[in-house]
């Protein structure tokens, strides 16, 4: 992705800029402090407002080419409505509309006045950071060769300055987050015959080569010898080789690392417990957790924070082949605990439990966070707007939720407890891999909690947020923003 050159130093003059973007409220007033040509710009806006051509409605955008009395080629007006009532959602939506408008134009050097407005409870630093992230992310276009013919015009926007001072570290954090989201989106959007476990392993190795990470890939035979019976039970139905992908970022000296574990099922048929055919193509997104972890590592490579982070990504297909696991099979996990597989479509927890055990045994982390498109029940509970979060350490959960609130990549906590743990009882093994329909998101996390008793742990269920269905179908890049912000805060503490 082409990088925008962001300047953190405020500018009030239009020299060196070919385009200017400003905010307008519902009364038709320009929201700006020291901008040159402010009177001329306000006169233009007042004329448009009086004629009804631009009302300042939230999210509305208008480009004026060669505006009279204003020394720029293009003037973009962005409506923010009643700014006293402006919400995070409305502001970010307006930014997204504005970015599309700018990207479709010939703008090369943009002076951005939108950071002079902030939703209630926010400030100009937050607004500048969101502007940087959204404008950088607007460059994303899915360009894999399998797509065939498409428009792949290089964005013309090259540089952006703000009319308010911005924190350069925040702008860098925003840009790195957008670049990480791009990788996450690319991997998740890719057809499953291209984005295989081997391709994810290759991507991890390329990240390691680019940024100086350590990468280590475990193959099927190694995992079998180690005793990863749970992970291998899922993988045995597919001819495509599974991979356990491990990456290390060492920026924090001798400190114990934070471990990120991402579910990497590159296609999920459900196995013998076959899914319905409708929308099964979207099960290429079942590696959204793995894609998120790799996207986060891309951002870490760009930012180089003083922190240690390791990634453990179990990756496989879940297929109904002749060797596939069957409902009723009992397997032994790497931890030594036995599992009765009652539903082969509850495969994510089966690969994650061995990955969680391996991460703890190998890297001795101070915290473990796993992320997975784990349960449809999470979509029923929370819809597609917030991710679910559960864990055994309230401080850790609160820190991740705070990072999500800061980035508007929100999470909502669900409980854990003995009541849900009882639903996992089995007559033939230490536990079953499902607990019935009631509380499906919770029982899935409760299963993982049996493998994370000795370490602070949080589980992110991103089934509702990792991708969008319908006519705009595609990966969202979430929860990369929340995780990058969380790790940035951990590096500061």
Options 220, 243, 349, 478, the catalytic residue: 349
**Secondary structure class of 216 (helix, strand, coil):** strand
182 annotated ligand-binding residue: no
Exposure string of 138-156, with b = 16+ CB inside 10 Å and e = fewer, is bbbeeeeeeeeeeeeeebb
Assigned token pair, 430: 């230490």
Helices 197-211 & 288-303 angle (0-180, nearest 10): 10
Which residue(s) pair with 316 in the sheet?
Answer: 265
Which residue(s) pair with 441 in the sheet?
Answer: none
Which residue(s) pair with 247 in the sheet?
Answer: 215, 311
262: enclosing H helix or E strand: strand 258-262
Please say whether the beta carbons of 386 and 412 come within 8 A. yes
Please say whether the beta carbons of 445 and 414 come within 8 A. yes
Q: In Å, how far are 57, 85, 118, 128, 435 from 25, measured between CA atoms? A: 7, 11, 12, 18, 52
Please say whether the beta carbons of 424 and 446 come within 8 A. yes
Residue of 381, 372, 328 whose CA lies nearest to 353? 372
Options 38, 122, 156, 275, the catalytic residue: 275
Say whether 304 is catalytic. Answer: no
**Sign of the CA dihedral running 424, 352, 270, 441:** positive
Say whether 349 is catalytic. Answer: yes
Residue 244 C-alpha from the chain's centroid: 21
DSSP code at position 32:
-
Which DSSP string do the residues of 158-180 spell out, in sequence order? -EEEESS---HHHHHHHHHHHHH
Give the integer Cα–Cα distance in Å for 170 and 176: 10
Give the integer Cα–Cα distance in Å for 83 and 25: 6
153 annotated ligand-binding residue: no
Residue found by looking up tokens 């503490």 in the block: 493
263 annotated ligand-binding residue: yes
206 annotated ligand-binding residue: no
302 annotated ligand-binding residue: no
Q: In Å, how far are 58, 224, 375, 476 from 88, measured between CA atoms? A: 12, 49, 28, 18
Q: In Å, how far are 134, 285, 313, 381, 382 from 469, measured between CA atoms? A: 21, 11, 25, 17, 16
Give the ranges where 304-409 is alpha helix by DSSP (H). Answer: 348-363, 376-382, 394-407
Residue ranges of the annotated binding site are 263, 268, 286, 345, 347
Residue ranges of the annotated binding site for Mn(2+) are 263, 268, 286, 345, 347
Report, as residue numbers or ranges, the catalytic residues. Answer: 275, 349
């Amino acid at each position: 992705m082409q990088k925008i050159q962001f300047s953190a130093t405020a500018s009030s003059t239009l020299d060196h800029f070919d385009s200017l973007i400003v905010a307008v409220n519902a009364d038709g007033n320009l929201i700006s402090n020291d901008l040159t040509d402010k009177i001329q710009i306000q006169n233009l806006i007042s004329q448009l407002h009086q004629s009804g051509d631009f009302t300042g409605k939230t999210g509305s955008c208008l480009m004026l080419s060669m505006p009279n009395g204003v020394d720029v080629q293009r003037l973009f007006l962005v409506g923010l409505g009643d700014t006293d009532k402006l919400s995070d959602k409305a502001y970010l939506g307006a930014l997204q509309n504005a970015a599309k408008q700018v990207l479709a134009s010939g703008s090369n050097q943009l002076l951005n006045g939108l950071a002079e407005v902030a939703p209630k409870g926010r400030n100009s630093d937050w607004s500048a950071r969101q502007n940087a992230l959204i404008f950088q992310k607007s460059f994303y276009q899915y360009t894999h060769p399998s797509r065939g013919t498409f428009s792949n015009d290089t964005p013309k926007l090259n540089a952006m300055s703000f009319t308010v001072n911005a924190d350069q570290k925040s702008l860098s954090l925003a840009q790195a987050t957008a670049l990480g989201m791009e990788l996450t989106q690319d991997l998740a959007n890719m057809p499953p015959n291209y984005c295989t476990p081997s391709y994810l392993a290759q991507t991890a190795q390329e990240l390691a080569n680019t940024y100086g990470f350590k990468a280590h890939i475990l193959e099927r035979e190694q995992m079998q010898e180690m005793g990863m019976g749970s992970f291998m039970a899922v993988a045995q139905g597919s001819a495509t080789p599974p991979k356990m992908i491990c990456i290390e970022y060492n920026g924090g000296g001798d400190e114990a690392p934070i471990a990120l574990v991402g579910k990497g099922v590159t296609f999920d048929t459900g196995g013998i417990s076959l899914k319905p055919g409708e929308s099964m193509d979207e099960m290429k997104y079942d590696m959204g957790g793995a894609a998120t972890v790799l996207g986060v590592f891309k951002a870490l490579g760009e930012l180089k924070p003083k922190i240690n982070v390791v990634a453990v990504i179990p990756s496989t297909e879940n297929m109904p082949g002749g060797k596939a696991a069957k409902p009723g099979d009992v397997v032994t996990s790497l931890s030594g605990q036995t599992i009765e597989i009652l539903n082969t479509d509850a495969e994510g927890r089966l690969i994650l439990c061995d990955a969680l055990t391996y991460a703890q045994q190998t890297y001795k982390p101070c915290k473990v966070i796993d992320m997975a498109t784990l349960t449809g029940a999470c979509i029923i509970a929370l819809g597609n707007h917030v991710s679910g979060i559960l864990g055994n350490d309230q401080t850790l959960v609160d820190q991740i939720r705070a990072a999500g609130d800061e980035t508007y990549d929100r999470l909502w906590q669900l409980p854990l407890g003995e009541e849900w743990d009882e639903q996992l009882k089995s007559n033939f093994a230490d536990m079953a891999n499902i607990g019935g329909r009631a509380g499906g998101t919770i029982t899935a996390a409760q299963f993982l909690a049996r493998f994370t008793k000795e370490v602070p742990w949080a589980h992110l269920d991103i089934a509702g947020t990792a991708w969008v269905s319908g006519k705009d179908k595609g990966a969202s890049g979430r929860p990369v923003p929340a995780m990058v912000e969380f790790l940035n805060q951990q590096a500061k503490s």
